[in-house]
Copies of this chain bind each other. A is one copy, B any other.
Amino acid sequence: MANYQIDLNSDIGESFGPYTIGLDDDILNVITSANIACGYHAGDHNTMYETVRTAKANGVGIGAHPGLPDLQGFGRRHIAVDPEDVYRFVTYQIGALKGFCLVHHVEMNHVKAHGALYNMAATDAAIAEAIAKAVKDVDRHLILFGLSGSELIRAGQNHGLTTASEVFADRTYQPNGTLTPRSEKQAMITDPDQAVQQVLEMIYDNRVIAVDGTPVDINADTVCVHGDNPHALKFVEQLRGRLSEEGIDIRRVGA
């Protein structure tokens, strides 16, 4: 009998100064990997300190979540950055989070790029290479998260990194394996059952049915979930419940 395993990851630690965002304490109860903002697109040294501590206390895998230098745009706006620049700011951000891992006596487990940087790394080979190389050069034991089938996964494999292919529960896919852009009508899956079903199919069959009905090959090492509002949080609880019922092993990648 096959032994299925899945990781649930979420972006956390996005609060900044006087500004609080996200239900971090709650989402940490249901996820297995935390992507912690490192001060470029969100987060600050106080948030990072607290978030690493809480993630460790919850036994959740700790990951650096480097983003574009754009607090105002939350790292979601495309910026025309050089690959060389990317290599360096990813190094900076992983290093900064490493500081907090050191003071909290906990290992960093993974790295996941944020927002526009994540999207750029999915299709732009030079950006993907810059990120993968920075991760390897800082610590070759770090696991590199990336969109399943993306340039980033390829670049990580080329560098000999352990990679984790990421899938989405609440997003639809295009026939070429990319996510349907949010600007399009069919982009989001709002029905929880349908979302759970999509995840189960990705785990069991390594495939997803694209918006036009085409079956697409996919690797599901980790599912991206959200904790920025009570509704999103509730869906993660449902998803986790259903995965458990199926007997799927929910644990952080690499554990």
Partner-B contacts on A (CB < 8 A): 14, 16-19, 21, 39, 42, 44-46, 48-49, 69-74, 77-81, 85, 88-89, 91-100, 102-103, 116, 134, 137-139
Contacts and interface: CB of A to CB of B under 8 A. Distances in A.
Contact of A79 (B42, B78, B94, B100): B78
A39 B45 CA distance: 13
Given A17-B73, A72-B69, A79-B79, A103 B137 contact: yes
Given A45-B88, A96-B92, A102 B72 contact: no
Contacts of A95: 95-100, 102
A129 to B, nearest CB: 14
A95 B100 CA distance: 8
Contacts of A69: 70, 72
Nearest to A101: B95
Nearest to A133: B103
Nearest to A81: B77
Contacts of A48: 88, 92
A169 B139 CA distance: 41
A77 B74 contact: no
B91 A49 contact: yes
B79 A39 contact: no
Contacts of A138: 99, 102-103
Contacts of A71: 16-17
Contacts of A100: 91-92, 95
> What 7 pairs between A and B have smallest CB-CB spacing?
A95-B99, A19-B19, A45-B92, A17-B72, A103-B137, A18-B74, A78-B80
Contact of A94 (B39, B74, B81, B99): B99
A103 to B, nearest CB: 4
Contacts of A134: 103
Contacts of A94: 99
A99 B96 contact: yes
Contacts of A103: 91, 134, 137-138
24 contacts: A14-B18, A16-B71, A16-B72, A17-B71, A17-B72, A17-B73, A17-B74, A48-B88, A48-B92, A69-B70, A77-B79, A77-B80, A78-B78, A78-B80, A80-B116, A91-B99, A92-B99, A92-B100, A94-B99, A95-B97, A98-B98, A99-B138, A102-B137, A102-B138
